[in-house]
Amino acid sequence: MESKAVYLTELGKMEFRDIPVPQIDSNEVLVKMEAVGICGSDLHYYSHGKIGDFIVEFPFILGHECAGTIVKIGEKVEHLKVGDRVALEPGIPCGECEFCLSGQYNLCPDVKFFATPPYDGCLQNYVKHKASFAFKLPDNVSSIEGALVEPLAIGINAARTGGVALGDSVVIFGAGCIGLVTLLASKASGADQVIVVDLIDKRLEIAESMGATTINAKQKNVVDEVLALTQGKGARVVIDCAGNNTTIAQTVQVAKAGGNIVWVGMATDEINGMPLGPVSTKELTIKSIFRYKNLYPTTIAAISSGKIDIKGIVSNKFKFEDTPVAFRESYTNVKNIVKSIIVFD
């Protein structure tokens, strides 16, 4: 077998290189990639070379949302077989620290996560992975949908953390991929009214097609509009998937008294101008999430059962050989590209 990987060699520049096919250990599987999603974090590494303390050392392989077919299994692997299609949960925790032992393995400080420096990602023909983090896909779930299990798990985690329940009103800031999967998860959880706020019409159009009421923050006063839509009460659950100063401050302003706020994405290190008074007077609960834990089976089941139709978030598909074009287009054409998927032959 031959394998190629596409490497980020400098900011905004990618090239293909021949690489050896990985050798697997007894508890691992070798997976032939079939679909890889382009995430916002991938684009940030592509354009800036770092996220917080995670700094890329070139050359580096991006990609962590992935699915494919098993072509080889280790001798200790019993629950999977060659030919199984799987979605790969991209983070492998140490399994020994206090967070892993308490079930919060997403907080493991030694997790090895695809495309998070120093660990290469999955934009290569073959990837080895620990079998316990490879989840078999039902026949009615495509590999493209399998690659989307990863972002959808974040959306489900956000909705669960916010306690979205039957009949709830929900406000979601940001209609990128994570905002849209959070919308889908909120609707599947029983939310009656989901209001999505963004600046980009294309994204808001998709949100509307998924059943949301939308607000373009460039055209309307977000706080006034949310209050008007909720009879002056605000939303019981507010989920921020944008993470900038403006939206973080607005989460407090549009939350209903006694409501829950969930901060998902942090696009800034400091938050200025957030009014703290309402946090006290409204007795708000503010939580944050970091990725997900123990949610891949649930997420796959939600797709397979038809409870969540994830296909609608994909706006663009590219072939593996066109990966450099896919990243360039996804970065420069953000107004029109909501979610890009790399498809392998």
Q: How confident is the model at residue 328 (pLDDT cuts 50, 70, 90)?
A: very high
Q: Quick one: 104 and 119 in the same domain?
A: yes
What is the reported pLDDT for 23? 97
- Whether 307 maps to a domain, the answer reads no
Strands 316-319, 340-343: pairing kind:
parallel
Q: Cβ neighbours of residue 233 under 8 Å, at least 6 residues apart?
A: 169, 227, 256, 257
Q: Is the pLDDT of residue 210 over 70?
A: yes
How many helices and strands (H and E) does the chain possess?
11, 20
Task: Find, among 192, 232, 184, 190, the residue nearest to 209 by Cα.
Answer: 184
For position 175, which CATH number holds?
3.40.50.720
Based on the fold, state whether residues 111 and 170 are members of the same structural domain.
no
**Going by C-beta distance under 8 Å and a sequence separation of 6 or more, which residues neighbour residue 322?**
none
The pair of three-digit structure tokens given for residue 316, joined into one six-digit string: 């663009």
Residue 300 lies in a domain: no
pLDDT tens figures, 128-160: 999 999 999 999 999 999 999 999 999 999 999
| Mean pLDDT on 184-211 | 97
Query: Domain of 121?
Result: 3-148+314-343
Shared domain for 50 and 66, answered yes or no, is yes
Q: Which two tokens stand for residue 260?
A: 């829950």
- Per residue in 18-52, pLDDT (tens digit) is 999 999 999 999 999 999 999 999 999 999 999 88
* pLDDT tens string 182-191: 999 999 999 9
Among residues 254, 272, 288, the one where a domain terminates is: 288
> Quick check: 232 pLDDT over 70?
yes
Same domain for 191 and 265?
yes
Judgement on whether residues 172 and 254 belong to the same structural domain of the protein: yes
Q: How far apart are CA 257 and CA 259, in angstroms?
A: 5
Provide the token pair at 174. Answer: 């940001």
pLDDT band of 269, cuts 50, 70, 90: low
Are 40 and 144 in the same domain? yes
Q: Decide if 308 contacts 302 (C-beta within 8 A).
A: yes
Residue 72: pLDDT band with limits 50, 70, 90: very high
Q: Reduced to 3 DSSP states, what percent helix, strand and coil does the chain have, rounded to the nearest 5?
A: 30, 30, 40
Residues 11 and 123 in one domain: yes
Domain identity same for 18 and 98: yes
Whether 52 is in a domain gets the answer yes
Q: Tell me how far apart the alpha carbons of residues 193 and 190 are, in angstroms, rounded to a whole number.
A: 9
Residue 76 lies in a domain: yes
Is the pLDDT at 268 greater than 70? The verdict is no
Q: Could you tell me the two tokens for 328?
A: 């360039």
Residue 305 within any structural domain of the chain: no
pLDDT digits (tens, 9 = 90+) for 234-264: 999 999 999 888 999 999 999 999 999 999 9
So what's the pLDDT on residue 1? Answer: 80
Q: What pLDDT, in 10s, does the model give residues 289-315?
A: 999 999 999 999 999 999 999 999 999
pLDDT of residue 271: 74
Query: Binning pLDDT at 50, 70 and 90, where does residue 204 land?
Result: very high
Average pLDDT of every residue of the chain: 95
Residue 216 lies in a domain: yes
pLDDT in tens, 74-86: 999 999 999 999 9
Q: What is the pLDDT of residues 5-17, one digit of tens each?
A: 999 999 999 999 9
Last residue of a domain, one of 272, 288, 304: 288
Q: Is 199 part of a structural domain of the chain?
A: yes
What pTM was estimated for this model as a whole? 0.95
In this prediction, what percent of the chain has a pLDDT beyond 70?
98
The two most distant CA atoms of the chain are separated, in Å, by 63
Say how many domains are in the chain: 2
Where residue 121 falls among pLDDT bands split at 50, 70, 90? very high
Beta bridge pairs of residue 91: 113
pLDDT computed for residue 254 by the predictor: 97
- The CATH number linked to 16 is 3.90.180.10
Query: Residues 154-190: pLDDT tens digits?
Result: 999 999 999 999 999 999 999 999 999 999 999 999 9
Residue 301 lies in a domain: no
The reply to whether 173 and 264 lie within a common domain is: yes
> Are 161 and 284 found together in one domain?
yes
* Pair 44, 170 in one domain: no
Counting residues of the chain whose pLDDT is more than 90, the rounded percentage is 91
The predicted structure's pLDDT at residue 283: 81
State whether 184 and 222 are in the same domain: yes
